[in-house]
Amino acid sequence: MPRYDFRCRSCGATFELRRAMAQANDPAVCPDGHSDTVKLLSAVAVTGSGTSAASAPPSGGGGCCGGGCCG
């Protein structure tokens, strides 16, 4: 989930939130409770190339040792 940096214009504090991209433009509330915040353009490292095709999850079925292949 991407992180977004915000800055509070009431107290000047900066904070970051993890939220879905669909909620990126939703208003954020300062940790101190102020609602006058602005979203900063931070350099979020979005690695778009390379999907999960190369990293298949291990088959944790546990059926190996039952077949005698484990020794």
> Pairing state of beta strands 14-18 and 3-8?
antiparallel
The nearest distance, CB 30 to Zn ion, in angstroms, is 3
- Point out which residues bind Zn ion (CB under 5 A): 8, 10-11, 13, 30, 32, 34
| CA angle in degrees (0–180, nearest 5) for 59-46-6 | 125
Shorter beta-carbon distance to Zn ion: residue 21 or 36: 36
The nearest distance, CB 25 to Zn ion, in angstroms, is 19
The nearest distance, CB 53 to Zn ion, in angstroms, is 44
- How many C-beta atoms lie closer than 10 Å to residue 13's C-beta? 14
